[in-house]
């Protein structure tokens, strides 16, 4: 039996050396993971759990503070809603922003409607604007950052010519206005 074992060791020396090396490497890696990485992972996991707990607690504010914050937010929103008489100025501002960005505008159509249970009107504007991609993108960004309550409902971009950068943007916007004077 010893003789057979010695013969196997002599003939398969390289294979056995590789197996022994991999086994030693595996033992070293397992000990590194157990002694170094697992404690660090546990510390990171407990920090993460504590942060989630703090965020969950922060979301459960008392009803009075929620009401106060909601009232402040509504007042801010109401200051952003212009009166009906300012509709022409708003449309002019929208067209001026297009011009400032180097975007050409086409026909504009609008449809007014009453907002249910509120003293508000909504004007749904549809228009086409064209220019190079950077200008159209900049114009859209300016519209979204407008101080008044203007909502960009939908945008579609079209470029029918593969060799020019002229982009046509079909845009649908809703403008909210207060009724009355």
Q: Write down the pLDDT at residue 81.
A: 87
Q: Write down the pLDDT at residue 181.
A: 58
The mean per-residue pLDDT over the stretch 145-166 comes to 86
- Break the chain down into helix, strand, coil percent, rounded to 5: 55, 25, 20
Q: Write down the pLDDT at residue 166.
A: 86
Please state, rounded to an integer, the average pLDDT across all residues of the chain.
87
Beta-ladder partners of 123: 112, 175
Q: Write down the pLDDT at residue 28.
A: 93
Count CA atoms within 13 Å of residue 104 on its CB side: 7
* All domains in the chain, ordered by first residue: 2-58 (no CATH), 84-178 (3.30.70.60)
Whether the pTM exceeds 0.75: the reply is no
Pairing of strands 120-132, 104-114: antiparallel
Q: What percent of the chain has pLDDT over 70?
A: 96
Q: pLDDT (tens digit, 9 = 90+) per residue, 116-130?
A: 888 888 999 999 999
Segment (H or E) for 154: strand 150-158
Residue 70, both tokens:
């909601």
Q: Flag whether pLDDT at 133 surpasses 70.
A: yes
Pairing of strands 120-132, 166-178: antiparallel
Q: CA nearest 123: which of 89, 83, 174?
A: 174
Q: Flag whether pLDDT at 144 surpasses 80.
A: yes
Q: pLDDT (tens digit, 9 = 90+) per residue, 12-55?
A: 888 888 899 999 999 999 988 888 888 888 999 999 999 888 87
Q: pLDDT (tens digit, 9 = 90+) per residue, 67-112?
A: 888 899 988 888 888 888 989 999 999 999 999 999 999 889 999 8
């Amino acid at each position: 039996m010893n003789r057979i074992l010695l013969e196997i060791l002599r003939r398969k020396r390289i294979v056995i050396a590789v197996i022994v090396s991999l086994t030693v490497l595996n033992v070293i890696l397992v000990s590194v993971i157990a002694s170094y990485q697992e404690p660090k992972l546990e510390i990171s996991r407990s920090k993460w759990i504590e942060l989630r707990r703090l965020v969950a607690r922060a979301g459960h504010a008392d009803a009075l503070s929620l009401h106060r914050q909601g009232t402040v937010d509504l007042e801010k929103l109401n200051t952003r809603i212009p009166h009906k008489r300012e509709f022409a100025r708003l449309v002019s501002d929208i067209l001026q922003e297009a011009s400032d960005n180097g975007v050409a505008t086409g026909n504009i159509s609008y449809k007014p409607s009453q907002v249910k249970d509120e003293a508000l009107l909504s004007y749904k504007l549809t228009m086409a604007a064209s220019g190079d991609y950077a200008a159209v993108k900049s114009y859209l960004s300016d519209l979204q950052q407008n101080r008044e309550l203007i909502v960009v409902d939908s945008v579609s971009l079209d470029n029918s010519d593969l060799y020019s950068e002229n982009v046509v943007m079909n845009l649908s916007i809703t403008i909210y206005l207060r009724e009355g004077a």
